[in-house]
Structure 1
Amino acid sequence: MERPLLVTDFLDRAREYYGDETAVVATTGQRYTYDELGERADRFAAALQARGVEAGDRVAVLDPNTHYHLEAAYGTMQAGAIHTPLNYRLTPEDFEYVLNDAGVTAIYADHEYAEKVEAVRDEVPVETFITNDADAVDGDWEGFDDVLAAAGDYDRPEMSEDDVVTINYTSGTTGDPKGVCRTHRNETLHAFLVSYHQDVRDTDTYLWTLPMFHVNGWGHIYAVTGAGATHVCTRGVDAASIFETVREEDVSYLCAAPTVLNMLQDYYADHDVEPSGDAPVRVATAGSSPPEATIRTVEDEFGWDLVHVYGATETGPLVTTSSAERLLDGEDRYALQKRQGIGFLGTEIRVVDEDGEDVPWDDSTIGEIVVSGNQVMDGYWNKPEATEEAFNDRVEGYYHTGDLAVVDEHGFVAIQDRSKDIIISGGENISSIELEDALFDHPEVGDAAVIPSPHEEWGETPKAFVVPASGDPESPGVTADELAEFTRERLASYKAVRRVEFVAELPTTATGKVQKYELREREWADEESMVGQG
């Protein structure tokens, strides 16, 4: 028997079997059952349809991890529209590009971020503007709760598992941001895999420390909902609030980038704090490899179970796990846990050389990670050439991650470097090309190359090697702080250059191409590998 795989099934199941159970703990402390969450999603779907939103239209959601995000996401998908979550850390110019590229028809934006959309309102195709606090936003915005109160019933259209249901935008690490198209089938099977490998249960209480916009919160908007577990929402995280919420809400599961784990570790060392409530806690981490010392602290001192997972926006995201108990043994356990690990069920992970041949499992031969799996994206939105390249560079039919890795005797993958000009700082992707473009706009910059630099807290941070326009690194005509502020004024703050080194020249090939690899080798000479260890 064949049944279509639809993401709407996750909330449908929760309403049927867990209708009276707590679905969401809002940032205000208010609690919603699955019946109430479902009713609010229904009304949002009806409101969209009343405003002309049809199946296949794109609806953007710009929100921190509040209950409004969940309601807007499910309401959008129930109406047959395409959920398009946005990174709230972007600039108005970034939103202008994404909203136009996706052809967004309607947007829900949290009141703290709506002004960034209002700033480009006349330059985007959006017709419906909804926020959770219209009084706090300049411009003509409808209030979310008022919209729900006036809504009637909605008609759920016929949907196919091959329909695109969400578009997640990359951070533009190799040019303009690309919209990663994911179908009902992609999202459903990825959520199934997350549920299995992360052991998601109906008794779980999940703390939203991971942004919901980030590949749909690594699929947890589906997995946690479908299990009938409880979502605990946040408007941002800090170590004290995480520990407090874990205790007060008996949180059993959360996700955290290594930078968040380090933040928790530092706070724990300086404060007398109980790290858990009554429930055992497990935590998933990804973005960069956590240091062994962090893993030891989390497991031995916090008493939490930690699993390291890996992936990319294009891959679902999750495709590997370090959770392989029979292979994690003895003193090598922590060293193995920091590796990206082995493939998820139904997922083929290969590390291939330039000829597309698998590298030996010798833990020394480097190749590129390529992936095949049902959770891998359908393609890039309106970018057929980029899609073709992503799936057919070294090996036909596999997504090419750009991550360079080795494989040990157990099949555990460990990333060593990146072939793309990408910096992953605190779990956020930053384009070195975008930063270089910003630096070139400064009159005192003659040439520049941006690379990732090791950072104890963030894993990596952007560093610029700058050739002054004067040609004299001893008298560059501008300070490092001034250049950092120059980039901060033009880009999202998290993308700004943090370190600057003035040099007389950049290493180049015979044809004049900057050899960033030489700069990275020098910068990372004292590190285990040329990727952040967080």
Structure 2
Amino acid sequence: MERPLVVTAFLEQARNHYANQEAIVGADGDRFTYAELGDRVDRFAAALQERGIEKGDRVAVLDPNTHYHLEAAFGAMNIGAVFTPLNYRLTADDYEYILSDAGVDAIYADYEYAEKIEAIRDDVPTETFITNDTESVEDEWESFDTALSDAGPEYDQPEMSEDEIITINYTSGTTGDPKGVCRTHRTETIHAYLVSIYHELTDDDVYLWTLPMFHVNGWGHIYAVTGQGAKHVCTRGVNADQIVDAIRTEDVSFLCAAPAVLNQLIDYYEDEGGPAMAGDNDVRVTTAGSAPPEATIRAVEEEFDWRLKHLYGATETGPLITISAPSRHVTEENRYELKKRQGMGILGTDVRVVDEDGEDVPRDDRTLGEVVVRGNQVMDHYWNKPEATEQAFNDRVEGYYHTGDLATIDENGLIAIRDRKKDIIISGGENISSIELEDALFDHDAVADAAVIPAPSEEWGETPKAFVVPSSGDPDDPPVSADELTDFTRDRLASYKVVRRVEFVGELPKTATGKTQKYELRKREWDEEDRMIGEG
């Protein structure tokens, strides 16, 4: 028997079986059962329909990890509207591009970020503006809670197909403008099933939201945690002492954290003299982005007494496509080395490492190739970008998504990312375009030439570093300071994209045709590291 795979089933499952169980601990301290969460979702769905939002319309959500994010997401999806989460660390110009590109019809924005939407409000097609605190926001915004109380719980749920687009997640624009990754009910559902398996989710889990919900729908956890009837513990940001307090007081059993967050927790642990890092439940943690260094893994597992996994993927792939340290391959001698690897392809996922001709590289853990993937959790297409979609799925191998990451593969089929095909910097789990940073630097009169690469960072895994040829031609006497260039980029870019390090040079390494040889710069910068990719 075939039953359509639709994302609305996750909340419905929880409402049917866990109605009176606590569903959410809000960042503001409010608590909701699954029955109460469901009622608020219904009311938001009704409020959207009253404002003319229909199936297929795009509804953006700009919010840190609060209960409003979950309510807005499920409310939109319950009427078949396309949930479009926004990275809350972007600039007003970024939002103008995304809202216009997606043709967003309505937006819910947390009061802390609504000002950025105000700046471009007249330049986007969006007509409905809702926030959770109207007193903190200028101009005319509707109150989320008032909209709920006025609407009532009745709404018309349209028929939905598993092949219809239900969410658009925008990439970080690492090779130009951000691309909208279109995901269907089916891809989201199957990915959530896989997350439940590999993150070992059960109904008695308590999940702490340190991973941003906007990141590929919280790596699918808005669906998986909800569908299992587990508990969401929300946050408004990453603060080490608040995280540890929440873990202890709410008996958190599972969280996801980029290596940078793990390092913050390690610093806290050391500064506080080794406090208890768990409540009544054992703690599991999954990390991603740049592989954590062995010292980080050891501290998490041996000092915190947590169990760590390392996943690999991309916005286009769900993200989950591989996971580290399959138990039957682990020994005491290789345990930490395996946990640094990106690992094995998960169920139903064909992960290959191929050469330029599309042939599989040998399993010798030495030969580099590009990681390509095929699976039911991989995106459907890029929004309004057919050429980019065609290239992404057919560059070296037809029908596979091409990640742009270069890796080796060992005798057991476990991959390890060694370098990047594209000039991407992954800092604290965020993708940063070196091209975008270079463009910002070139706007400064004192910059004659510039190249930005990832530099190793103990805190962030990688951090942007600029090699700058000053307009004077003399690296020892530039007409601008490194700090001034950092401030220059800070004024033009989202905070996490700022150039953190600047080195003045007389010239950049070039090819015969004048192209900058970033490989040479990366090689020099990472000379003392095991790999040319951020591992601290």
Q: What TM-score, normalized to structure 2?
A: 0.99
Task: Return the alpha-carbon distance in structure 2 between the equivalents of residues 49 and 430 of structure 1.
Answer: 37
Q: How many angstroms apart in 2 are the aligned matches of 1:78 and 1:263?
A: 38
Amino acid at match of 2:34: Y
Task: Give how far 1:265 is off.
Answer: 1.1
The residue aligned with 2:260 is 259
> Could you say which residue in structure 1 is the equivalent of 2:491?
489
Shift of 1:470: 1.9
Deviation of residue 123 (structure 1)? 0.4
Instruction: Report what 1:407 is aligned to.
Output: 409
Q: What's the offset of the Cα at 1:504? A: 1.2
- Is this contact kept in 2: 1:371–1:398, CA < 8 A? yes
- Residue 143 of structure 2 is aligned to residue 146 of structure 1: no
Q: Kindly report the root-mean-square deviation, in angstroms, between the aligned alpha carbons of the 2 structures.
A: 0.7
**Equivalences for residues 515-526 of structure 1 within 5 A:** 515-526=517-528
| Partner Cα distance (1:177, 1:341) in 2 | 28
2:354 alignment counterpart: 352
The CA distance in 2 between the partners of 1:127 and 1:204, in whole Å, is: 39
For 1:373, the equivalent position in structure 2 comes to 375
State the shift of 1:331 in Å. Answer: 1.2
What's the counterpart of residue 171 of structure 1?
A: 172
Aligned residue type for 1:211: P
CA distance in 1, matches of 2:101, 2:413: 40
CA distance, structure 2, for counterparts of residue 311 and residue 295 of structure 1: 19
- CA drift at 1:323: 3.8
Would the aligned equivalents of 2:325 and 2:338 in 1 still touch at CA under 8 Å?
Answer: no
The aligned amino acid for 1:149 is S
CA distance in structure 2 between the aligned counterparts of 1:448 and 1:270, rounded to whole angstroms: 39
1:65 corresponds in structure 2 to 65
Shift of 1:164: 0.5
Amino acid across the alignment from 1:54: E
- Contact 1:328 1:337 (8 Å CA) reproduced: no
The corresponding residue for 1:54 is 54
Helix, strand or coil: the match of 1:129?
A: strand
**Deviations 1:409-432, CA, capped at 9 Å, x for gaps:** 221111000011110001111100
Aligned letter for 1:82?
A: V
Cα deviation, residue 493, structure 1: 1.1
Q: Equivalents in 2 of 1:8, 1:390: separation in Å? A: 29
Distance 1:28 1:127 in 2: 28
DSSP-derived class of the 1:443 partner: coil
Give the partner amino acid of 1:148.
Answer: L
For 1:106-129, what per-residue CA distance to the aligned partner results, in whole angstroms no more than 9, with x for missing partners? 000000000000110000011000
Q: CA deviation at 1:252?
A: 0.3
Contact 2:310 2:339 in 1 (8 A): yes
SS in 2 for 1:326: helix
- Segments of 5+ residues of structure 1 without an aligned counterpart are none
Per-residue CA deviation, residues 462-507 of structure 1 (Å, 9 max, x unaligned), is: 0111111222212221011001100000000110101111111111
Superposition map of 1:195-344 within 5 A: 195-272=196-273, 273-344=275-346
The separation in 2 between residues aligned to 1:506 and 1:423, in whole angstroms, is 19
- Number of equivalences: 534
Residue 472 of structure 1: aligned partner = 474
Is 1:91 paired with 2:67?
Answer: no
One-letter amino acid of the structure 1 residue matched with residue 171 of structure 2: T
Where in structure 2 are there 5+ consecutive unaligned residues?
A: none
Residues 1:105 and 2:134 are matched in the alignment = no
In 2, the alpha carbon distance for the partners of 1:389 and 1:328 equals: 37
Contact 2:63 / 2:109 at 8 angstroms: preserved in 1? Answer: yes
Please state how far the C-alpha of 1:330 moved relative to its aligned partner: 1.9
Kindly indicate whether the alpha-carbon contact (under 8 Å) linking 2:441 and 2:450 is maintained by their aligned counterparts in 1.
yes
3-state SS of paired residue (1:490): coil
- 1:144-174 per-position Cα deviation (integer Å, ceiling 9, x unaligned): 0000000031100011101100000000000
Q: Which moved more, 1:320-329 or 1:219-228?
A: 320-329
The SS at the match of 1:19 is: coil
Rounded to whole Å, the distance in 2 between the matches of 1:379 and 1:530 is: 30
Other structure's SS at 1:148 match: helix
- The 2-side partners of 1:341 and 1:98 are apart by 33
The separation in 2 between residues aligned to 1:481 and 1:270, in whole angstroms, is 29
Maintained 8 Å contact 2:263/2:296: yes
Secondary structure at the counterpart of residue 288 of structure 1: coil
Letter in 1 for 2:143: G
Amino acid aligned to 1:451: I
Return the letter of the residue paired with 1:503.
Answer: V
Offset at residue 253 of structure 1 (A): 0.4
Which residue does 1:436 correspond to in 2? 438
Q: Separation in 2 of the partners of 1:323 and 1:158?
A: 42
CA distance in 1, matches of 2:127, 2:514: 48
| SS of structure 2 residue aligned to 1:61 | strand
Spell out, residue by residue over 1:317-363, the C-alpha distance to the aligned partner (whole angstroms, 9 max, x if none): 11000141110112111101110000111001100011111111111
What amino acid maps onto 1:277 in structure 2? G
Task: Decide whether the 8 Å contact of 2:24 with 2:33 is kept in 1.
Answer: yes
Separation in 1, partners of 2:389, 2:325: 31
- For each residue in 1:219-263, what CA deviation from the matched residue of structure 2 results, as whole angstroms up to 9, or x when unmatched? 000000000000000001211111111110000000001111111
CA distance in 2, matches of 1:242, 1:474: 45
| Cα displacement string for residues 269-319 of structure 1 (whole angstroms, at most 9, x for unaligned residues) | 121310010111100010110111111111111111111111000000110
Match of 1:427 in 2: 429
| Residue type at the aligned position of 1:101 | D
1:45 equivalent in structure 2 = 45
User: Could you tell me how far apart the structure 2 residues matched to 1:28 and 1:129 are?
Assistant: 22
The answer to whether the aligner puts 1:3 opposite 2:3 as a matched pair is yes
Name the amino acid aligned to 1:217. Answer: G
Preserved CA contact (<8 Å) 2:286 2:309: yes
Instruction: Determine what percentage of the aligned residue pairs are the same residue.
Output: 72
Kindly indicate whether residue 159 of structure 2 is the aligned counterpart of residue 158 of structure 1. yes
Q: Distance in 2 between matches of 1:496 and 1:260?
A: 19
What per-residue deviation string (whole Å, max 9, x for no partner) do you get for residues 435-467 of structure 1? 000001001111111000001110000011111
Question: Contact 1:26/1:234 (CA < 8 Å) preserved in 2?
Answer: yes
How far is the alpha carbon of 1:30 from its aligned partner? 1.6
1:57-102 Cα distance to aligned partner (Å, 9 max, x none)? 0000000000000000000000110000000000101100100000
CA contact (8 A) 1:250 1:279 kept: yes
Contact persistence 1:165–1:184 (CA under 8 A)? yes
Letter in 2 for 1:359: V
The answer on 1:27 being equivalent to 2:17 is no
Q: 2 CA distance for matches of 1:235 and 1:440?
A: 35
In terms of mean alpha carbon deviation, does 236-245 or 127-136 score higher?
Answer: 236-245
Distance 2:477 2:303 in 1: 50
4+ residue runs over 4 A deviation: none
CA–CA separation in structure 2 for the residues paired with 1:282 and 1:421: 32
